[in-house]
Homo-oligomer: A and B are copies of this chain.
Amino acid sequence: MTLPRRSHPRPLDLNSGRVDLTHGGGGRAMAQLVEELFVAAFDNEILSQGNDQGAFSVPGGRMVMSTDGYVISPLFFPGGDIGSLSVHGTINDVAMAGAVPIGLSAGFIIEEGFPLADLARIVTSMAAAAKAAGVPVMTGDTKVVEKGKGDGVFITTAGIGMVPAGIDISGDKARPDDVILVSGSMGDHGIAVMSQRESLGFETAILSDSAALHTLVAAMIAAAPGIRVLRDPTRGGLAATLNEIASQSAVGMVISETAVPLKPQVLGACELLGLDPLYVANEGKLICICPPEDAETVLAAMRAHPLGGDAAIIGQCDADPHHFVRMKTAMGGTRIVDWLAGEQLPRIC
């Protein structure tokens, strides 16, 4: 029998090609996209196993798993893009348990017609973020939906990590008198994204703070293993995140307006846009709650790290039975910092 010659597809056209439905179909076109773009960019031994799952070894112990979907619009913004964000954001959710990240999975949902050049830019950025963080993308999946049934690209990453022995960090562990710290200025990510949104036509020098915080967390828990709570104030910003923790831990909180680090440009942009910076998303900042005796140690550890230079103590927990978050204002009054009722900035992450 003479066997037909197997066709050799031309390489992906990363300049002017577009994603079509065949790239999600499970056949040769999908295999080519995965090999030439994803596996080439992520370039690690686990992904290169070529199976529908990545295999790796773990020591026994306490582990965490987290996931986030990224639907940010626009896909590219000052200081990052959906690719780097999808790595940083999920590493951060893993790190907020005090865990050392092991690896990520990545699921792409791509709209038919999306330029392969933009996809390559996103995947390259994602791979660079993963390599810089030392956290491999170990497994992935690609789906394509018809034009008009998606919006460019959505990425859902999941992450896993191991919690070091003796560390027990959770949102329900804040106690009255515990001290509340933040690792830097609030609102940078949200304002950077807003600046890119065409409809606002707003320009600012603010860059997103998108960053992987796991090495900052490692430095903090090395200095103070008794840290009670870590959480990154993303959607809903500082205000929503403090309210979540207050509710989960059944404590009140009092923060000081003048102590919350804010960049003057962010404050100015917020005033212009009618936004409260306490509700604007961050992607490279964390909130830490620790026993009062650890506060200065934690603050020093944060400030000694490149991602914590502007860290500050912003307040303290109390025994308020209503679990309110209150703020001492610059004017000397006190106001309630409520949950965000609705959506302030849609598709900010």
Q: Are B340 and A66 in contact (CB under 8 A)?
A: no
Pick from B52, B57, B344: contact of A62, CB below 8 A: B57
How many copies of the polypeptide does the oligomer hold? 2
Q: Contact flags (1/0) for A37-54 with B, using CB distance below 8 Å?
A: 000000000000111111
Q: Are B31 and A322 in contact (CB under 8 A)?
A: no
CA distance A65 to B143 in the complex (A): 18
Q: Give, as a whole number of angstroms, the nearest-CB distance from A186 to chain B.
A: 14
Q: Are B106 and A67 in contact (CB under 8 A)?
A: yes
CA distance A248 to B3 in the complex (A): 20
Q: Are B235 and A25 in contact (CB under 8 A)?
A: yes
Interface presence of A119 (CB below 8 A): no
Q: Are A94 and B53 in contact (CB under 8 A)?
A: yes
Q: Are A63 and B69 in contact (CB under 8 A)?
A: no
Q: Are B139 and A55 in contact (CB under 8 A)?
A: no
Q: Are A54 and B66 in contact (CB under 8 A)?
A: yes
Select the residue from A1, A69, A93, A340 with max chain B CB neighbours within 10 A: A69
Q: Are A160 and B160 in contact (CB under 8 A)?
A: yes
> A107-B69, A107-B156 are known contacts. Are A53 and B340 too (CB-CB below 8 A)?
no
CA distance A346 to B50 in the complex (A): 23
Interface presence of A231 (CB below 8 A): yes
CA distance A66 to B343 in the complex (A): 32
Q: Are A346 and B67 in contact (CB under 8 A)?
A: no
| Residues in B whose Cβ lies below 8 Å from that of A244 | 31
Chain A interface: which size bin? 35 or more
Interface presence of A10 (CB below 8 A): no
Q: Contact flags (1/0) for A302-346 with B, using CB distance below 8 Å?
A: 000000000000000000001010000000001010111111111
Chain A, range 1-57, C-beta contacts under 8 Å to B? 1, 3-4, 6-7, 20-22, 24-31, 49-57
Interface presence of A203 (CB below 8 A): no
Q: Are A24 and B65 in contact (CB under 8 A)?
A: no
| Residues in B whose Cβ lies below 8 Å from that of A322 | 3, 6
CA distance A59 to B162 in the complex (A): 12
Interface presence of A145 (CB below 8 A): yes
Q: Give, as a whole number of angstroms, the nearest-CB distance from A94 to chain B.
A: 6
Pick from B50, B248, B342: contact of A172, CB below 8 A: B50
> A97-B55, A150-B149, A150-B151 are known contacts. Are A344 and B25 too (CB-CB below 8 A)?
yes
Given contacts A27-B240, A56-B64, 6 further A-B contacts (CB under 8 A): A25-B342, A26-B234, A27-B236, A54-B64, A56-B65, A156-B158
